[in-house]
Amino acid sequence: MNSLNGLKIVITAGPTVERIDPVRYITNDSSGKMGYALAEAAQKAGGRVLLISGPVSLPTPEGVIRIDVLSADDMLAACQANMPCDIFISAAAVADFKVLSPSTFKIKKKYDDDSNIVLYLSKNPDIIKTISESKKSNFTVGFAAETHDIKENAKSKIIRKKINLILANDVSDESIGFNNDENELLAIDDQFNEYPFPRATKSKLAAEVIDLIVKLH
């Protein structure tokens, strides 16, 4: 018997793209590799996996259904449209901010004008908090990409976002995390129990994380 045994798993992965104008945008360094590895591991464990992905250059894992999105608003809408689920894993690196009024045409540089351009930003929706508060996921997992105070920030997110498990990693180390094949994680559950995952390939870590989720779910 597979450990997830037909449970519906919704996973977000990759970055989001927030338009400035038709040719420019705000994004981040996420490659989507961790989220895609989790989708593959969950599918191999017997889950019915839906992967909601920002723009990445990765093939869809075999047996996984994939929905492509661009912005944080698009990603939230896709998540809400595919609730309820048994397990929700928010592995996407969602941009915290979006441009308040994106231009519908390319913003031209004026060579005779030395003034700066000001972009007004507004907050993007908090996807994992929205899903958690909707109570349409039986078990909710988030990520905390941090540069300092990793454990403290991760615990704070568990409380603020009302989630069951968080996976924290140090993105100040350029040899792991974003755009790398390896990572190192510290998992913390909603009782503040800690589960360290030493540095390994993202595929190996994904399988170990899915095993932990099965035990805690």
Q: 164 an active-site residue?
A: no
Query: One of 28, 124, 169, 183 is an active-site residue; which one?
Result: 28
Give the integer Cα–Cα distance in Å for 161 and 148: 19
177 band by pLDDT with thresholds 50, 70 and 90: low
Global pTM value: 0.92
pLDDT 10s digits, 138-175: 999 999 877 788 889 999 999 999 999 999 987 766 66
CATH number of the structural domain 8-216: 3.40.50.10300
Q: Write down the domain spans for the chain.
A: 8-216
Quickly list DSSP for 112-170.
Answer: T--PPP---EEEPP-HHHHHHHHT-EEEEEEEEEESS-HHHHHHHHHHHHT-SEEEEEE
Residues 17-54: tens digit of each pLDDT: 999 999 999 999 889 999 999 999 999 999 999 999 99
CA distance 36 to 41: 9
